Amino acid sequence: MKYTTLPHTDVKVSKICLGTMTWGQQNSESEGHRQMDFALDQGVNFFDTAELYSIPPKAETYGSTEKIIGSWLKQTGNRHKVVLASKIAGPAPFTKHIRGTGFKGASITEALDASLQRLETDYLDLYQLHWPERKTNFFGQRGYRHDPSDAWEDNIEQVLETLDGLIKAGKIRHVGLSNETPWGVMRYLQESQSRNLPRMVTIQNPYSLLNRSFEGGLAEIALREDIKLLAYSPMAFGTLSGKFLNGQMPPKSRLALFPHYNRYINPNAVKATEQYAALAAKYDIPFAQMSLAFVNTRPFVTSTIVGATNVEQLQENIASIQVDLPDELINALDEVQELVPNPAP
């Protein structure tokens, strides 16, 4: 395994982070435990979850993933071996079963305390805002379209003050953002600096060969401001393994179970995936490992979040950290991006 540190901290994390959102629906508790055992044995010390999980969000499975992690931590006593990250859900139509106040008032404290209870721990190494409260472009929306009816009032200072209190209480070590835009990142950094409040250290956004939109503005911020990316969906729901090519639809795959995530198999995404698959074959690199190795080696990435529904997939994904891509292959991947840019945002 290769390691780095969370920006502006001394927290050592593996360059591969274990994603957990399938645990509680696609994966059972015992399967989640097996994945954590295997990942830790392979040197993965960074686990990411969220109060929202498992995915897709449902009232009856709310918090199920955190509970699975918590039971493993309790049984194994491995809390000291793991850098643990979770997230608070923002307001959205699909989170009405959680709470309706977003990050206002006591919501952050309420959400964190519930997560800590489910996770069987008294602190988190990283606590993230899962997406903005304001109406902006995330979750598949390419460009920003201003909504004059957006009722959001700028409360970034108040959010940071609340997080500051939770850090001082010992419940959180560091804080981060997720599904955030360049404007949002810079606003948080500005408030942190001018008010002497906690600094966001990471951004967890989607990034893959099918969605390189992070490069449009956030990559420069990540490098110049040292607030690095935790890349999620690096395999685009498994499409970048090639298993959906030629009209295939494995019956237990995520896209078969959750067809509304069809942005990963739209015509342009399929077109790009076919070209990426051909490059993997040409260079004799497993397609999934080529896809992950590309993300792993980007200079603005702190860690790549990999998710799997079985240990065999997880083993292949973790092994991508040892794959080096030649410059000519990287150039060829860039050429596909130029021809079919960001087909699955």
Active site residues: 53
**Bond into 56 cis (ω within 30):** yes
Q: At what angle do helices 311-319 and 29-41 cross, to 10 degrees?
A: 30
240 by DSSP, 3-state: which? helix
- What tokens were used for 117? 């209870």
- What tokens were used for 28? 């059972």
Beta-bridge partner residues of 13: 4
281 by DSSP, 3-state: which? helix
Burial call 98-116: b when 16+ CB within 10 Å, e when fewer: bbeebbbeebbbebbebbb
**Measured over all CA atoms, what is the biggest interatomic distance in the chain, rounded to whole angstroms?**
55
Q: What is the DSSP secondary-structure string of 24-91?
A: TTTB-HHHHHHHHHHHHHTT--EEE--TT-SSS--GGGTTHHHHHHHHHHHHH--GGG-EEEEEE---
DSSP state of 95: G
Read off the amino acid at residue 210.
Answer: L
Residue 289 in contact with residue 315, Cβ under 8 Å?
A: no
Burial call 127-140: b when 16+ CB within 10 Å, e when fewer: bbbbbbbbbbebee
